[in-house]
Every structure is written in structure tokens, then in C-alpha cells.
Homo-oligomer: A and B are copies of this chain.
Amino acid sequence: DPAWFGLAFLLHRPYTHQRCEFLKYLEKNGIENRPIISGNFIRQPCISTFCEEEHPENYPGAEVIHSRGFFVGVHQIPLDQAVIKQLVDIMLAFPFSPYHFTLVTGSNGMLGRYIRDVVSEQSSSTEILDSKPQKIRTKDSEWIFATREDGDLRRVEDVQYIFKRYQPTRVIHCAARLASFQQMSAKPVEYWFDNVTMNNNILKTAYEFQTWIGQIKLVSILSTVMFPKDAQFPIDTSSIYNGSPHPASESYAYAKRSLAQLTQWYRTEYHCNFVSILPCNFFGAYGDFNPRTAPLVNALIAKIENQNPSIPLQMMGTGQPLRQIMFAEDLARIILWSLENYSEDQPLIVAGEEVSISQLVQLIAQQMNYQGVIQFDNDTNKDGPLRRTADTCVFAKLYPTFRMTSLSLGIQKTIEWFRN
């Protein structure tokens, strides 16, 4: 007789919104129930006037009991098995439908903004709830787009506060501190500490908060800088660690490698549903358009925009090397898909169309109606590897119907954003 008064239940976090409905349903089916007395006292209107300085979010255990807990009374006469089975059957017959709380870190970055756009367009019932952090409600999730203003992810207290406050059931971890190769190679210590600390804090907190929240799906975003500097193509997940990354972004790359490893270790040690996505080169609106620091396509757009067409445009190298290029909006769609569909151990490599640098420059010039001459200096020393093709067959198998935006359309959209 472990329970002499009542059986305590907790709904999983994604079913919080169904608590009232569920309790009414139980009552209708003859199962008496009550709220659990302790709850979160700070939310009690009278008590809150005595402790105005306290935030209910600081008591995550009480919050959980408050919002998701209930008692079912224990009968004074022992029940037989059939009645207990009936109780269970009634409970499970309820039409549970999960409603998620999805936290996106780094929401001011290029990728974070595309994720927000795709989320906004995915549901006609989108409702913008708040602006700091920006919150959007869709039919299956509330989305919390956190930025630097909502907390410094290098401070574990800030990360804990965000988790206490929003109790996310899903996390898309896009936040990273990066800069031009020149800046990163000048300050390796800072780029190592900032990135590794953010990643450690996010994964550790997500793991620890599973006690309150239940299983959390966490998707981390990696980077091709992780690949060894002289990797043989096609690069797959088995070759990521076969050599040092490029020295120009070494400490940033090692922080991404440790993020991939930690993701893996949380899976093996605690069976966490943490996964990682490893995207190749991507481009798009919202991003950096500084010719010296921006991703390849964005830098080319900025360069051509500022070029006097009567002077030949000078490009470094031969233009022959092939690169996989992807529109950031496609990556955003894949990341959102992965929340539901990707649960494998290995980082999921995704990449776009493979084109030569010269084809790419021609394409951009054409879209921008640039009429001037384009000249490559044909210095092979500036080319870098001729191909760095990554193996995307795992993704192709898992999501065969996914259609990437054509490069020309992606570039066109990016130019439009850049010009307006």
C-alpha cells in the first residue's frame, strides 16, 4: 500500500496544454482527481504579493508539479486488477497530442532567421506572442527564438534561466561565435573558450533539465571547418577526425568537433536524443555581406555590387575548384525536419549543388546583371583543394523527396534581400 491518499501523476511536458481537458475527461469517466497541493506557491495570487521579488521560474520542480501534476484518489477498499486495468485504459484512450516548446539559440544569425521564416510560413495560424525573445505559436509548437539579449550562453546561469523559464522539449542549437579566418586565427583562445563553453552549457543543461522536462530532442549545428584540411573526397563522418582542421579556423573547428563528440557521448552514456547536422557551405539573406568575412556567395555578391563594370573584376585562383553550395533556407527546412525524423548517432552531412567557382561567379554576375569582364588570375596556389565533396548519401536515403532550391533561385533571393 504505497499510496494511502492518492496516486500522483505528471503529464509529460508536451501535454501540459491538455491538462485541464484531461482532468475533465477523467472526471467524466468516473476518475476523481485533484491538483497536487504543493504546486508552485509563488503563483498563488495572495502569496505572490508577499514575495514580489521571487520568480516562479526559479523553482522548476514546483513549476512542473503546478502545471503538469495531479492526484487520483485511492479507494479505501483495495481495487481488483480489472478495475486498475480499466483505469489505465481510460487514461491511455485520451487523445493526447503533443505540443512542443522549441528553443532556437543564435536566432539572430543567418540560419536562425531562416528557421524563423520557415516556421512562420509553415502554419497559417502563426501567432507572434512576444518580441523578447521572439515567440511564435504554430499548430504543434511554441517557438522561442533566443538571441544574445535573452542571455549569454557562455554563462551557465543564463542558460539555466532560459531552460527554467521556457522548459523546452526541443532545442535547435545554432549559436556560435565566429568571425573572419583572420580574426579567428589571431584569437584562438577566445574562439575556443566562447564556443566550447556555450556548447557545454547548452548540452549539459538540456541533459540536466530532462529531470523536469522529460526527454529533450536537441539538434546541434556543426560546420565543414571540422573536416581535416587535406581530407580526401568524398568526406564522410568516418573521415572527420583523420587530421587537423585548417589552421585559419583551428580553435573554432576543434570546438565544433568537441560539440559533435559531446553530442555522441550524451547519446551513449545517457541515451539522450541529441543529434547533430553537419552542413557544407551555405549562403543567404540576413548574413554577413562584408567581402572579407562573409561566406563565399555573400562575399561575391557584395564584391560584384561594388565593382565598377568598366574595370575587369579580378578573382583569385583558377576558378576551377568545385564547391558544394546550399541555400540557407534549405538548411533551415532540413533542420526542422530533423526534429521529427533524425535520431541517428552520426552527424548528418547535408550539402547543396556542386559547382565550380567560375560557374558560381558567372551565375551571380548574371543574376546581378553585371556586364563587366571577369578575370581569374589563374594562380593555382590560391585554389585550395580542387574538390571537397562531402558524402550526403545518408541524408538522401532518409529524405529522398527533399528538393533543394536551385542555386540560381537562391542567389536571386539573396541578391534581392541584399539590394533592399
**Chain A interface (Cβ within 8 Å of chain B)?**
186-190, 192-193, 196, 200, 204, 207, 241-244, 250-251, 254, 258, 261-262, 265-266, 268-270
Interchain residue pairs with CB less than 8 A apart (21): A186-B269, A188-B269, A189-B262, A189-B265, A189-B266, A189-B269, A189-B270, A190-B269, A192-B258, A192-B261, A192-B265, A193-B200, A196-B196, A196-B200, A196-B258, A242-B243, A250-B261, A251-B261, A254-B258, A254-B261, A258-B258
Q: Which residues of B contact A269 (CB under 8 A)?
A: 186-190
Task: State the copy count for this chain.
Answer: 2
Q: Which chain B residue has the least Cβ–Cβ distance from A200?
A: B193
Q: Which residues of B contact A207 (CB under 8 A)?
A: 189
Closest 9 CB pairs of A and B: A188-B265, A241-B244, A189-B265, A189-B269, A242-B243, A251-B265, A188-B269, A187-B269, A189-B266
User: What's the Cα separation between A266 and B270 when bound, in Å?
Assistant: 34
CB distance from A55 to the nearest CB of B (A): 25
Q: Which residues of B contact A251 (CB under 8 A)?
A: 261, 265
Q: Which residues of B contact A186 (CB under 8 A)?
A: 269
Q: Which residues of B contact A200 (CB under 8 A)?
A: 193, 196
Q: Which residues of B contact A189 (CB under 8 A)?
A: 207, 262, 265-266, 269-270
User: What's the Cα separation between A268 and B190 when bound, in Å?
Assistant: 12
User: What's the Cα separation between A130 and B189 when bound, in Å?
Assistant: 36
CB–CB B196/A268 < 8 A: no
User: What's the Cα separation between A31 and B172 when bound, in Å?
Assistant: 67
With A244-B241, A254-B258 known as contacts, the answer to whether A193 contacts B188 (CB < 8 A) is no
User: What's the Cα separation between A254 and B262 when bound, in Å?
Assistant: 10
Supplied contacts A192-B261, A193-B200, A254-B261, 12 more A-B pairs, CB within 8 Å: A186-B269, A188-B269, A189-B207, A189-B266, A189-B269, A190-B269, A196-B200, A241-B243, A242-B242, A242-B243, A254-B258, A258-B258
User: What's the Cα separation between A186 and B261 when bound, in Å?
Assistant: 14
Q: Which chain B residue has the least Cβ–Cβ distance from A203?
A: B189
CB distance from A103 to the nearest CB of B (A): 21
